[in-house]
Amino acid sequence: MRVKHPIQYLRVSLLNKCNLNCFYCRPQNEKEVPEWNRSNPDKCKQALSLLYSMGVRKIRFTGGEPTLYKELPDLITFSKSLGPDVKSALTSNGILLAKLAPELRLAGLDSVNISIDTLDPTKFTSITSRDYLDRVLDGITCAKEYIPEVKLNTVVMKGVNDDEVANLIEFANSMKVNIRFIEYMPSRTGTPHYKYISGNEIRNSLPYEFSALGQSGASAARYYKANNLDIKVGFINPVSHSFCNNCNRLRLAADGKLYGCLFDGRNINLFELLEQDDIKAQQETIKLVNDKQFQGCSGVASSQDNLPSFLEMGG
C-alpha cells in the first residue's frame, strides 16, 4: 500500500492542559472538557520515528500549552536527531517563553508561532481569563532573541478584536516579526460562529496598500507586503478559502490518536498500534492518509460527535 498524498507536516499535541482559558478554544460545556491527558514521551518518540520514515519532515509541538510539558526540550532534540532535514517548530501562547526560550533553542527548536489576540490588557483578560499579557510580551521579546524564526498568530473575531488588527501589525512591525491573521474556525465544542469575519474583509479594512507575495510551499498562509512595513502580513483563511488541496498534515493527539484533519473525527490510535506491530501501524497510517477528505472546514464541525476540541488538537 502506498500513500496517495504526501505527508510532510506533523502537529503533535503534547497535552490537553493550558495556562490560559481562551473562551473560543476551551469547550463551552463543562461536560465536554476533556479528561486530563498528556502524551507518553517514549510512545511519542516511537510515533515520530515511524512518521519520519514515512516522509514527515516538519514537526510542530502544540497542545494545550506545549511549554507546560516538561519533556518538550527532549522531544525537540529527538525530532532533530531523526534527520538533518527535520524542522522543529512550536505553537505557544508565549507565557513561559521568557524562561524557556534559551533552553528550547539549545534543544534545537527552529521556529515558534506565538498566539496573541490583543494588545489591550483588559481584553486579554476577558479573552483568556488570565492577566498575563505582560508575560506574553516578554515571551515574544525573549523568543526573538533566541529562536531563529518567530511569527505571531492572531485569531480575529468580530466585535472582539477586529478593531485591533492594524495595531497588531504595527506592534509586529516594531518587533520585526511576521504576523498572520487566522479566520475564526467552527468547532463542535466552541462558541457560536457569529464572531466569524473573513480574512478578505479584514485585509480590505486595513490602511495599507498590500501587494501579494507568492504562496510558499504548502503553507496555509497567503502573505502580503506593504511599502511602509518591514514585515510580511499573512492571512490564513481556512473557512473562506479552504487550503485542503495542498494539505500535507497529520495530527497526533496526546492520547496517541492520529487524525488526518482538524475537521475529521476519524482516527487511529498510533500508540496502541505501535505496541502491537510497526508494520500494522504503518499500514493503518497510510489508510488514514489515503482516506483523507478534502472538504474544507466550514460547516462540518458541528455534525461530528467524535471531533476533539481545539484544546486537544492544538489548532
Residues of this chain that interact with ligand SAM (CB under 6 A) are 18, 24-25, 62-63, 65, 91-93, 115, 153, 155, 182, 184-185, 187, 190, 310-311, 314-315
CB of 98 to ligand SAM, least distance (A): 15
Tell me how far, at minimum, the Cβ of 229 lies from ligand SAM, in Å. Answer: 22
CB of 2 to ligand SAM, least distance (A): 32
Q: Rounded to the nearest whole angstrom, what is the least distance from the CB of residue 161 to ligand SAM in the complex?
A: 11
- The residue among 46 and 113 lying less far from ligand SAM, judged by its C-beta, is 113
Q: Where are the extended beta strands (E) located within 157-274?
A: 178-183, 210-212, 222-226, 233-236, 249-252, 257-261, 264-269
Which residue number places its CB atom closest to ligand SAM? 315
- CB burial of 169-182 (b: ≥16 within 10 Å; e: otherwise) equals bebbbebebbbbbb
In this structure, how many other beta carbons lie within 10 angstroms of the beta carbon of residue 278?
13
- Among residues 177 and 273, whose Cβ is nearest to ligand SAM? 177
- Name which of 51 and 95 has its Cβ closer to ligand SAM: 95
What are the distances in angstroms from CA 162 to CA 53, 59, 157, 180, 198? Answer: 42, 31, 6, 13, 11
**Which C-beta is closer to ligand SAM: that of 20 or that of 82?**
20
**Quick one: cell of 43?**
510512545
Nearer to ligand SAM, 18 or 250 (CB): 18
How far is residue 29 from each of residues 26, 63, 73, 309, measured CA to CA in Å?
9, 19, 33, 11
Cα 22 from chain centroid?
15
Minimum distance from CB of 17 to ligand SAM (Å)?
Answer: 10
Q: Measured from the CB atom, is 65 or 264 closer to ligand SAM? A: 65
Cell of 67: 511549554
Size (the chain), residues: 315
Least distance in angstroms from the C-beta of 25 to ligand SAM:
4
